[in-house]
């Protein structure tokens, strides 16, 4: 049985312009110890989906579907049991370490409170464990750090601390929501490598949410590409990079700047904007921006289903022809 | 941190100087010659001229200011020409009353305002929040004399639980003293808590939207810990400011409440000085009250640093 199964999950947010369907009937699953990458551009619903798993949606949001985690449905779990689960079995690292740590509490407090909440440890043991964790995520002089405040650390350092907090109770699942987006490029690889290393060491499952296909390329076992609230392509990572079916995935990869391209070459950005999420389209959401789109794409929504390979799903009427293979 | 304290202290020196100048000018520029006030309408021009010379009133304004300031710096704020009491004696007699009233009023105000604000923010837009926000608004718009009369009617006239007016020093009869202070302090507190509640509530609501609160929830912390440890501290900066301003204001005495409840505080000293044109007392009391206000605000600045480490380390 998978550790996490997301079944038919939809999230609706009421806005002055009507209901916004942030997540539109998503199905995903993740085995223990594996990594799932969720990729998509801003506003595609990837963060809302992660918040749905964590049950941290805005109060007004309406969530339907089931989120089965370790045998329980998080959507229907009472708040006290949910609280006991969060931080212990289910941990998260947010995008911006500048805002995700409390500015008025010391790093030690923020680490130890999690440990003491979930594990039966006294102050001394919690402190020792905090030092251990900070050392594990590569913080020099961890003992001194405990008494410091977040603003006394750099961005990369803060994200390492946020990771230490997430790892503090040996979670079964870690959700990393754009963990490197707010960081310097030079730090990004370090943080991703740290996450991968700790994941292997602790045998935890991980969801990496990113807008950058390059981030998941070597690190995720499976990738789900989201667009306009829906999963539009889903496959094991090697299979996906070997052959992309959905034109959106291809466009997403093409939009990553590459080292070998000549200077001053225009970046093949995806033209147009995602559809207004309060006014769903009748056809495929990507059709208005898609260079392969035909008449049928504007009339009906393609289902997410497998074709040749049983584990490679995509939602497209006109998948990219085999000849037009994109290199990873 | 020490650096911060020194910088703040240096910053209040010019403020205190400006306060002393303004206080002096107010008293000096009031219409009516002090010599005539003292000598009354029977005064002869010779008497007036002699008194003016004695009091230095014939000197230029800047000279009078400097010599007054010189005396003030030596701790001599002057002496009432009516009672012969020095300013420090008069204030020293009255300040315990105003101080006690201020402390009790602020304490009751915070005791009501803070928990209500937290409860409202935790369920913003809920029934309790709407009810309390409405009640706060109603109380805020009620003048203190009306509140005082209502409280006297209810607790003194109808229920006979508490005395309506009067005062004994705490050192003589502590219990009776407290009983005398309950109604005036409550009158003030009922006007204080809506302000306290509204600033803390809105800051708290803003804080609860922060990423670090989402992370605190994701860490599985208890809701009480999230509210009191993670949200309350970063939300209390405005609260501390408001409390500081309130304290400064109440330090200067509260004219209406002191009058209604017959409490011999600073407010009544000031009013008396104005009525009897006792300019030395007036000037001295205003200066002391203003200095108290500046000092309270200095303490508020220090509290910011205690609450927010970024201010302490000079980051924000």
Q: How far apart are CA B306 and CA B311, in angstroms?
A: 8
Distance, CA of B124 to CA of B128 (rounded, Å):
9
Q: Let me know: does B239 contact A135? Beta carbons within 8 Å.
A: no
Q: What are phi and psi of B145, to 5 degrees?
A: -65, -35
Pairing of strands A72-73, A230-236: unpaired
Q: Which pLDDT band holds residue B113 (cuts at 50, 70, 90)?
A: very high
**By the 8 A CB rule, do A40 and A226 touch?**
yes
pLDDT in tens, B124-179: 889 999 999 999 988 888 888 888 889 989 998 888 888 888 888 888 888 888 88
For residues A195 and B100, give the distance between their C-alpha atoms in angstroms, rounded to a whole number.
58
Distance CA A206, CA A217 (A): 14
DSSP character at residue A23: E
**Amino acid B32: pLDDT:** 67
Rounded Cα gap, residues B81 and B277, in angstroms: 10
The pTM of the full predicted model, rounded to 2 decimals, is: 0.81
d(CA B105, CA B193): 9
pLDDT single digits (tens) B257-306: 888 888 888 888 888 888 888 888 888 888 888 888 888 888 888 888 88
Interface contact flag, B214 A94, Cβ < 8 Å: yes
Residue A305 token pair = 């289903």
Query: Closest Cα to residue A49, out of A283, A268, A224, A306?
Result: A224
Domain coordinates in residue numbering, chain B: 91-290
Interface of A with B in 132-151 (CB under 8 A): 149, 151
Q: Identify the bridge partners of residue A34 per DSSP, sorted by sequence position.
A: none
Backbone dihedral angles phi then psi of residue B192, each to the nearest 5 degrees:
-85, -40
Render B253-266 in DSSP notation, one character per residue: --HHHHHHTT---H
**Is beta strand A18-30 parallel, antiparallel or unpaired with respect to A4-15?**
antiparallel
The H-or-E segment that residue A306 falls in is strand A305-306
* pLDDT at B130 (0 to 100): 94
Identify whether the C-beta of residue B102 lies closer than 8 Å to the C-beta of residue B251: yes
- What whole-number distance in Å separates Cα of residue A219 and Cα of residue A275? 30
> Who wins on pLDDT, B244 or B3?
B244
- Angstrom distance (rounded) from CA A86 to CA A245: 36
DSSP element (H, E) containing A211: none
Contact A114 B233 (CB under 8 A): no
pLDDT on residue A65? 93
Joined together, the tokens standing for residue B299 give 């303490």
Cα–Cα dist B4/B13, whole Å? 15
Give the residues across from A207 on adjacent strands: A36, A175
Q: Is A92 on the interface with B (CB under 8 A)?
A: yes
Question: Which of A85, A96, A100 minimises the CB distance to B220?
Answer: A85
Q: Which of B216, B220, B229 sits opposite A118 (nearest CB)?
A: B220
Structure tokens of A36? Answer: 């799932």
* Closest CA–CA distance from residue A229 to any residue of chain B (Å): 22
* Strand ordering across the sheet containing A313-314: A90-93, A173-177, A205-210, A35-39, A222-227, A230-236, A313-314, A305-306
Which tokens hold the place of A52?
């749905």
Element (H, E) at B193: helix B174-207
The better pLDDT of the pair A281, B70 is held by: B70
Q: How far is B215 from chain A (nearest CA, A)?
A: 6
User: Is the model more confident about B34 or about B241?
Assistant: B241
Tokens of A222: 């499976």
The per-residue pLDDT for A94 is 93
Dihedral sign computed on CA atoms, order A168, A161, A92, B210: positive
Nearest CA in chain A to B124: A59
Query: How confident is the prediction along chain A (328 residues), in pLDDT tens digits per residue?
Result: 899 999 999 999 998 888 888 898 999 999 999 999 999 888 888 889 999 999 999 888 999 999 999 999 999 999 999 999 999 999 999 989 889 999 999 999 999 999 999 998 999 999 999 999 999 898 999 999 999 999 999 988 999 999 999 999 999 999 999 888 888 888 888 889 999 998 999 899 999 999 888 888 888 999 999 998 899 999 999 988 888 888 888 888 887 777 777 778 777 777 777 888 788 788 888 888 888 888 888 888 888 888 788 888 888 888 887 655 454 4
Helix (H, G, I), strand (E, B) or coil at B243: helix
The C-alpha torsion from A52 through A55 and A58 to A60, rounded to 10°, is 90
* Structure-token pair, residue B135: 């009640």
Cα A287 to Cα A66: distance, rounded to the nearest angstrom: 29
Q: What is the pLDDT of residue A176?
A: 93
Question: How far, in Å, CA of B101 to CA of B230, rounded?
Answer: 33
Higher pLDDT, B67 or B51: B67
b/e per residue B233-264 (b: at least 16 CB within 10 A): bbbbbebbbbbbebbbbbbbbbebbbbbbebb
Contact yes or no for B288/B2 (Cβ under 8 A)? no
Cβ contacts below 8 Å, chain A against chain B, sum to 79
In CATH, what number does B91-290 get?
1.10.3720.10
| A107 touching chain B per CB within 8 A | no
CB B197 within 8 A of CB B128: no
User: In the predicted model, what is the mean pLDDT of chain B?
Assistant: 86
Phi, psi of A245 (to 5 degrees): -95, -40
pLDDT score, position B1: 67
Q: Which of B175, B190, B55 is nearest to B111 (CA)?
A: B190
The three-point CA angle A314-A241-A219 to 5° equals 105
Cβ distance A94 to B211 less than 8 Å, yes or no, reads: yes
Tokens 């929040």 locate to B129
**Chain A nearest C-alpha distance from B290 (Å):** 32
The string over A145-155, giving b where at least 16 C-beta atoms fall within 10 Å of a residue's C-beta and e elsewhere, is: bbebbbbbbee
């Amino acid at each position: 049985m998978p550790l996490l199964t997301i079944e038919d999950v939809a999230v609706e947010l009421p806005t002055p312009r009507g209901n916004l369907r942030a997540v539109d009937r998503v199905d995903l699953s993740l085995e223990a110890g594996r990594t799932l990458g969720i990729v998509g551009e801003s506003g595609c619903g990837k963060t809302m989906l992660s918040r749905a798993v964590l049950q941290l949606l805005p109060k007004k949001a309406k969530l339907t579907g089931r989120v089965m985690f370790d045998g329980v449905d998080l959507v229907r779990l009472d708040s006290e049991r949910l609280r006991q689960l969060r931080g212990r079995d289910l941990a998260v690292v947010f995008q911006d370490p500048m805002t995700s740590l409390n500015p008025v509490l010391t790093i030690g407090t923020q680490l130890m409170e999690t440990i003491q909440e979930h594990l039966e440890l006294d102050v001394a043991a919690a402190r020792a464990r905090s030092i251990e964790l900070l050392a594990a995520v590569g913080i020099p002089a961890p003992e001194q750090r405990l008494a410091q405040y977040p603003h006394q650390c750099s961005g990369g350092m803060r994200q390492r601390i946020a990771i230490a907090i997430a790892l503090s109770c040996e979670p079964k699942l870690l959700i990393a929501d754009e963990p490197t987006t707010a960081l310097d490029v030079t730090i990004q690889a370090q943080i991703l490598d740290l996450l991968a290393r700790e994941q292997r060491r602790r045998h935890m499952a991980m969801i990496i949410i990113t807008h950058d296909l390059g981030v998941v390329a070597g690190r995720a076992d499976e990738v789900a590409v989201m667009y306009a609230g829906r999963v539009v392509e889903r496959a094991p990572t090697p299979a996906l990079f070997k052959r992309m079916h959905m034109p959106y995935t291809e466009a997403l990869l093409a939009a990553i700047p590459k080292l070998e391209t000549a200077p001053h070459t225009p970046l093949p950005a995806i033209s147009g904007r995602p559809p207004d999420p309060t006014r769903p389209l009748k056809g495929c959401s990507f059709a208005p921006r898609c260079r392969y789109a035909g008449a049928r794409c504007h009339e009906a929504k393609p289902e997410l289903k497998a074709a040749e390979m049983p584990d490679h799903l995509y939602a497209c009427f006109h998948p990219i022809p085999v000849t037009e293979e994109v290199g990873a | 941190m020490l650096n911060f304290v020194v910088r703040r202290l240096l910053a209040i020196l010019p403020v205190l100087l400006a306060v002393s100048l303004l206080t002096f000018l107010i008293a000096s520029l009031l219409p009516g010659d002090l010599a005539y006030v003292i000598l009354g309408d029977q005064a002869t021009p010779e008497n007036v001229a002699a008194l003016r010379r004695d009091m230095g009133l014939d000197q230029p304004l800047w000279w009078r200011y400097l010599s007054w300031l010189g005396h003030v710096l030596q701790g001599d704020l002057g002496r009432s020409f009516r009672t012969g009491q020095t300013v420090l004696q008069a204030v020293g007699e009255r300040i315990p009353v105003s101080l006690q009233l201020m402390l009790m009023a602020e304490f009751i105000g915070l005791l009501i305002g803070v928990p209500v604000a937290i409860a409202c923010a935790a369920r913003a837009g809920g029934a309790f929040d709407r009810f309390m926000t409405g009640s706060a608004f109603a109380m805020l718009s009620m003048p203190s004399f009306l509140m005082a009369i209502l409280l006297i009617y209810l607790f003194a006239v109808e229920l006979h639980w508490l005395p309506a007016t009067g005062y004994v020093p705490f050192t003589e009869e502590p219990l009776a003293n407290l009983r005398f202070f309950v109604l005036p302090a409550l009158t003030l507190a009922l006007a204080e808590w809506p302000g306290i509640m509204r600033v803390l509530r809105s800051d708290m609501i803003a804080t609860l939207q922060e990423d670090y609160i989402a992370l605190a929830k994701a860490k599985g912390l208890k809701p009480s810990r999230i509210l009191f440890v993670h949200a309350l501290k970063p939300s209390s900066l405005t609260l501390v400011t408001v409390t500081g301003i309130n304290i400064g204001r109440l330090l200067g005495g509260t004219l209406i409440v002191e009058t209604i409840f017959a409490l011999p505080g600073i407010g009544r000293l000031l009013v008396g000085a104005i009525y009897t044109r006792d300019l030395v007392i007036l000037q001295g009391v205003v200066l002391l009250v203003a200095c108290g206000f500046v000092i309270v605000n200095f303490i508020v600045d220090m509290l910011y640093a205690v609450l927010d480490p970024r201010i302490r380390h000079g980051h924000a």
